[in-house]
Each structure stands twice: as C-alpha cells, then as structure tokens.
A and B are shown apart, each in its own frame.
Chain A
C-alpha cells in the first residue's frame, strides 16, 4: 500500500497547483453589473466579420466617461505599466469566426453572456474561463442543424490533432477517454471513431508494430500495456496460438514435461498463471488429464497437486452459494447429503 499512498500524495500536490493568469486590468463587473452598461456600448461586435477583428474599445470609447489625458494617473487606471502602456495586441487567430453571424444586428448583453460566461462578474480582467469552450460551440454545431466539420471554423484543421494533442497522445489518450471522453466528443463525433484504430486489422502498423506478431510477447508477458483494453485475453490469444501451434519458449524446454520435472511448469504457473490462462482454459483436458491433476484414487484431498493441504479446514466456502464456483469444474453438485461431492462433508443425516 505504501507506493499507493505516496502516489496519492503526489497526485494531491499536483492537483493543488493550477495557475490563473490575467493580463488585463479592467473591471467588467463595475461597468456591466453596477452601472448597467451594455456590452455593445463598448464592443461593436455586430459588424465584426473576422475572428481577428479588434473588438476592444479604444480611448475614444473610454473617454466618454473617463479622462484619457495621458497623465500617469489616468493611464494607471487601466494600464498595469503606465510608463510603457502597450494597449491590447490581438494575437493571430487560427479560427474562422464572425460575431456578426452569431449575434445578429442588435445583440443584447444576455446574448454575449451566453458564450462569454462570467464576464458580468469579472473584476480583474478576463481569463480563458470567460471564453466559450468548444463544447459550447457544439451545442449548435451538432452536425445536424449546423455543421460540425472542423474545417468550418479551423483554418488549420489538418494540424488540429497536433495542436490539441500532446506528443505522447497515443499513450495518454486512454485516460481522457476513460474519464468519459467529454473532450473527445466535440471533434470525434463519429460514434464509431474509436474502432477506426482499436478494431482495425492493423495492416499498416499504426497501432502495433508490423512485426508485432513476433514480438508482442514482450508486452503481453510484461503486462505493461493493457492488452485487455481491446482483447479478451482468454480467447483472443488462443485464436492464433492454437491455429498456428505457437507455443511459448519455455514449453520447448525439456523440463517442461511433468514427466521430466514436475516442478518446472508448476513454478511457471505459480509465477504467472495469467500467462497460462491466455491460452489454456479451465477444462479438464488442460490440467486434469489422467496422471496429472487428477485425483484418481477416489479418496478426497489425497493428491496435493489438486487441492491445498488444508482443504478440509475451509468450512462453509463459497461453493455452497455459487453453483458456478470452480469446484464444479471437476465435481458434480448433487444437492443431496451423503451423495457425491456434497457427501464429502455432509453425511447421510444431513449434518
């Protein structure tokens, strides 16, 4: 448990670190909420047709109420560095967006707040939280009423995958998907998107190395990769291993045969029974062959290769309530005291 606790501590520390940054000194709340100034009084977005439009008010707009005489005190009101004010420099925009097509000719403040949530209460400039996430766009751009095509908004849609996904995305995307995939859905709307890779035929080596047929044992045995994410290991492995008679290397060792060394394969089984189960099932032909794990003398519990030595001390075990329990792979449930498997413990009088 210790590694788990250490990890939880590290995780909690990382979770606590989440920087919030702002570059703008402007109290939206004081203007919008306290003085009831509409958004469009300062932001003339009804005519904005490009995402790169500078919809930020200039001195001419501010001067309607404020003195902008370029005295240090006046500058300090809005500029963090009044000695060298830079104003607002619009960053290059990759997206295609026209406010005018979304707001109409006479937008109301509530329309703006629909996407720019929290601006009405922001007191120290804006952050990314005040801009609509892509999920918001997809409320309308759902691919049904309005297009959800990446190219409709993103000029560099071909590079979107690189921009959005970190370089180790091939490994790390499973965590995002596991969490519910809410950030996957906006772009990957196709309901069968995952299967493009996960259920493909791996003909091009995109998911697995082209030689994976030969070296997949490295991953399967070391269990570093979760093969089971896609493959049902109890049946998937045997699909090829059975057909092509591909057996693990240790099976070729002369000691593998119980006749030569009964403990060799037993040690392997104890060390990694999961590896055994990837090809062998629990039916009697695998383990319970005559001369192997087969209690042929009819006296219960006498073959240590089958039952642990304390089999008689286990008491009322789960086989009483579950007819699918492993005991019944070999034994037959009779439900009658004194008869068959039940009779091993329960005498004729039912005690």
Chain B
C-alpha cells in the first residue's frame, strides 16, 4: 500500500483547506505541487460565463527571463512565466462580475521541485446589483483603512448617502512564494475587520477601521485606526493613526500635507511615527520596542512645462541613532536622473541613477535605465560594495491588442562581476463587449 502511494500520482483533498495536493514520483524525482481549487473553479466559471457576459476584459502574458544564479555554484536559469488577468462583467446576471489574476512559473533549463510555481493574486466573484451594496467572494486584496491584506474570504460594502460601511472576513493565504495559492484553514490563519467611511463634509473624508489577525489559533494583532483625507484645489492632506488595542500602544501615526503651487511647484511634507509591534503571542514582544520618528520633505520644482527638479530629504530618528537620506535629480518628459545619498543607522549609500525613454515611432519605443551605487549595509564596515544595474529595452505595439517588450540587463554586484540577463514579455489584451458605445465625440 505504501509502495503504491509512493509510486503512483495521487490527488487527495485536505479537509477544510480546499487544497488538492498532487504527488508524483518517477522521472525527475518526487514532485509535489499544490494547485488551488479556486483556480480550477474560476476557470470553469470563466468558460461558462463568457458566453453570457456583456464585457470580457482579459490580458494574457508570457514572459521569459534568463539569468545566472549562485546556488551555490553558477547555474543558468530560464524562467518562463505565463500570466492571465480576467474581468468578466454581467456574467449570467446583471451586476455579477468575475475577476482573476494569476501566473505560473517554471524553469526551462532546470527542473526544480517547486516548479511549476503557481500564484493566484486574486480570483473572486463580485455582485453589485445596485449602488447600495457590493459583495465579493474569493481571493482578493482588501484595502480598507488600516486593513491592507490579501484574503480568501468575503467582503461586503454598503453605501448609504455619504457613508460607506465595509466588512471583510477570511483566511489569509501564503505568504510563502511556494504555496501562495494554498488556502489556509481558519485555525491556521485568519483575519477580519471593517471600515466606516464618511465623505459628507466637503473636501474631507474620514474613516474608522478595525482589523484583527490570528495565527495558529493565537491572537496576533487587534488594531483600531482612524484616517482622514482632505483635498481642495491644490492642497491635499492625508493622516492616519493605528492603535494596537490589546497592547494599548499607538502603532503608527502618519500625516502628509502637500501643496501644489500655481506655478507648478509642489511640496509634500511627511511625518511618520511607527512603533515596531509583534504578534501578541510572540516572545519578541517582551523586548523594548522603541518607536522611531521620520520626517520627509519632497519638493518638486517646475522649471518649465517639460523640466522638473525633484528632491527628497528624509530624516529618521531612532531611540539612540538616526539616519538621513537625500536624493536630488531632474526629469525631462519621461527621462530622469539624479543622485542618492544615505547615511546612518541601517548603512550608507551613494549613487546615481538615470532613465531615458525615447519614442522611435508610433508603435516602437526604446528605453535605457541604469543605476550605480557604492553602499555598505553597516556603517561600521570599512569597505563599500559597488553595484551597477543597467537595462536596455524596447517596447513594440505589434498589434492594437498585442505588445512585445524585450530587455537586456547588465548587473554587477557582490556575487557577479558581470551578470547579463534577458527578459522578453508579450502581452495580449482582449476586450469584447456586446454593447460597446464609445460615447465620445469629435475633436
């Protein structure tokens, strides 16, 4: 019996995790793969609903990436990545949509036990029959105040006049690269929360949010938050405060006013206070975790319609150390360049970067990007490490629906004096609509 289990491919379902585990022995050794049931489910949904949908918005991409890696000796790798993004609107019934985005990667020159490496970034059904509510079910990224998290679960938004009430609950996937598509059981990892947003005051938006996360049956964090945003004319502001309810500590405060002047100049100021917090059950939480303060200034100077001067100055103050980061540069249309300097806790860096983008024809453009740094990861180090990265590439709109991009990368770093890489990507965008009305006019 044991022999049979080891020799033959088998599919077994894991209770409550909704994962199919595919084991196969034979050529190339044991291969273990995890394929999520939702992926299959959504693919079936896609095929079935495509016929009835009013709009299908899809993107298919194929990428190849060739490079060298030390593991521990030099080895060439050619990664192949196939991606898909789907949006199907009014599938079966009005207001019902399906979204999915995922990719699968595998190596063409080597066999790895982790290949094919599946990732499902999102796959969910959305039902919005009216402007009063919207419901989503499946894998989705939730962004609701302090809650920024990928969930396998559900989300409900209720809209009433200037109020929006959001609630979400589910298990949290991954985050390991190699089982990102796996759906964890509720006991292993879960999260839930919500947000109440009020936009009734002109120019202002206010939000109250809450999120709780649990790992392995233990409470990890229970956070409440308040955020606001203000936008009026050339002025905008954003602020947020997160409070760890169980530990009774302010976890994060950030506020960012910005102002765009009539002449086109602008300035953004940013303050960040963050206290490192650990899961409540983590033994690390007994250590002294001092917060740090950071102030950043981002001035943008408009020299003329095409030329801007850019700057950034950030100062971070820790309990007994500090760090300063400065960058300055300029941009001309889509070209830019500048210098970067940082020093203090966390290391030091001095470098330059440049980016050039040139349109060769209506459908063809070329670009060159490069940066060169001298850095050290610890200020106590005597020597700095040089690094260089450069990319030369081209974008070609082969068809209205198809874009091809090719790139040669040259790297020099701690491991490789020279490392040449190749990257090719082809994108195909499909958009079908049964009632596509342009609505536009004539110039």
Q: Is the CB of A96 within 8 A of B440?
A: yes
Q: Is the CB of A14 within 8 A of B257?
A: yes
B302-322 vs A, CB cutoff 8 Å, 1 = contact: the mask equals 000000101010101001110
Q: Is the CB of A17 within 8 A of B235?
A: yes
Nearest chain A residue, comparing its CB with the CB of B315: A224
Is A25 an interface position by the 8 A CB rule?
Answer: no
- Docked Cα-Cα span, A218 to B381, in Å, equals 13
Q: Is the CB of A3 within 8 A of B293?
A: yes
B260-304 vs A, CB cutoff 8 Å, 1 = contact: the mask equals 101000101101011010111111111111001111001010000
Q: Is the CB of B369 within 8 A of A223?
A: no
A173-189 vs B, CB cutoff 8 Å, 1 = contact: the mask equals 00111111111000000
B residues 219-236 touching A (CB-CB < 8 Å):
219, 227, 229-235
Q: Is the CB of B325 within 8 A of A224?
A: yes
Q: Which of A20, A147, A218 contacts B377 (CB 8 A)?
A: A218
Q: Is the CB of A324 within 8 A of B298?
A: no
Count how many chain B residues have C-beta atoms less than 8 Å from C-beta atoms of the other chain.
131
- Docked Cα-Cα span, A155 to B442, in Å, equals 11
Is A299 an interface position by the 8 A CB rule?
Answer: no
Q: Is the CB of A215 within 8 A of B439?
A: no
**Contact flag A215-B205 (CB < 8 Å), given A96-B441, A282-B283, A329-B283:** no
Q: Which of B2-10, B17-25, B30-38, B237-245 contacts A (4 or more CB under 8 A)?
A: B237-245
CB proximity of B322 to chain A, nearest CB, Å: 10
Q: Is the CB of A218 within 8 A of B205?
A: no
- Docked Cα-Cα span, A235 to B276, in Å, equals 16
Please give, as numbers and ranges, the residues of chain B lying within 8 Å of A250 by CB-CB distance: 378
B residues 170-216 touching A (CB-CB < 8 Å):
174-177, 197, 203, 205, 207
- SS class, residues of chain B in contact with chain A: strand
A residues 139-171 touching B (CB-CB < 8 Å):
140-141, 143-147, 152-153, 155, 162, 166-168, 171
**Contact flag A98-B441 (CB < 8 Å), given A195-B122, A210-B409, A215-B387:** yes
A residues 1-57 touching B (CB-CB < 8 Å):
3-4, 7-8, 10-11, 14-15, 17-20, 49-52
Please give, as numbers and ranges, the residues of chain A lying within 8 Å of B349 by CB-CB distance: 215, 218
Is B87 an interface position by the 8 A CB rule?
Answer: yes
Is A199 an interface position by the 8 A CB rule?
Answer: yes
B363-405 vs A, CB cutoff 8 Å, 1 = contact: the mask equals 0000001010101011001000101110101000000000000
Is A344 an interface position by the 8 A CB rule?
Answer: no
- Docked Cα-Cα span, A15 to B203, in Å, equals 10
CB proximity of B116 to chain A, nearest CB, Å: 14
B74-91 vs A, CB cutoff 8 Å, 1 = contact: the mask equals 000000010001010110
- Docked Cα-Cα span, A145 to B55, in Å, equals 9
Q: Is the CB of A274 within 8 A of B443?
A: no
- Docked Cα-Cα span, A192 to B279, in Å, equals 29
Is A131 an interface position by the 8 A CB rule?
Answer: no
Q: Is the CB of A217 within 8 A of B377?
A: yes
Please give, as numbers and ranges, the residues of chain A lying within 8 Å of B52 by CB-CB distance: none
Categorize the interface residue count of chain A.
35 or more
Q: Is the CB of B281 within 8 A of A222?
A: no
Please give, as numbers and ranges, the residues of chain A lying within 8 Å of B281 by CB-CB distance: 282, 324-326, 328-329
Q: Which of A177, A203, A239 contacts B177 (CB 8 A)?
A: A239
Q: Which of A15, A201, A276, A326 contacts B280 (CB 8 A)?
A: A326
Q: Is the CB of A4 within 8 A of B271?
A: yes
Nearest chain A residue, comparing its CB with the CB of B220: A324
Is B435 an interface position by the 8 A CB rule?
Answer: yes
Please give, as numbers and ranges, the residues of chain B lying within 8 Å of A270 by CB-CB distance: 287-288
- Docked Cα-Cα span, A107 to B61, in Å, equals 46
Q: Is the CB of B232 within 8 A of A211?
A: no
Q: Is the CB of A218 within 8 A of B280?
A: no
Name 29 A/B residue pairs within 8 A (Cβ), A-sorted: A3-B295, A11-B237, A11-B255, A20-B233, A49-B441, A50-B441, A96-B440, A96-B443, A98-B440, A98-B441, A101-B439, A101-B441, A145-B437, A178-B229, A195-B122, A199-B121, A201-B103, A204-B407, A210-B389, A210-B391, A215-B377, A215-B387, A222-B344, A224-B314, A273-B289, A277-B284, A282-B283, A326-B285, A329-B283
Write the residues of chain B forming the contact surface with A, with a CB cutoff of 8 angstroms: 54-55, 57, 63, 65, 71, 81, 85, 87, 89-90, 99-101, 103, 105, 119, 121-122, 126, 140-141, 143, 148, 174-177, 197, 203, 205, 207, 217-219, 227, 229-235, 237-240, 246, 253, 255-260, 262, 266, 268-269, 271, 273-274, 276, 278-289, 292-295, 298, 300, 308, 310, 312, 314, 316, 319-321, 323, 325, 331, 333-334, 336, 342, 344-347, 349, 369, 371, 373, 375, 377-378, 381, 385, 387-389, 391, 393, 407, 409, 411, 413-415, 423, 433, 435-443
* Known A146-B439, A215-B377, A328-B281; further 14 A-B contacts with Cβ < 8 A: A11-B237, A19-B262, A49-B442, A141-B439, A147-B438, A168-B300, A172-B268, A203-B65, A204-B407, A211-B411, A219-B346, A222-B344, A222-B347, A287-B283
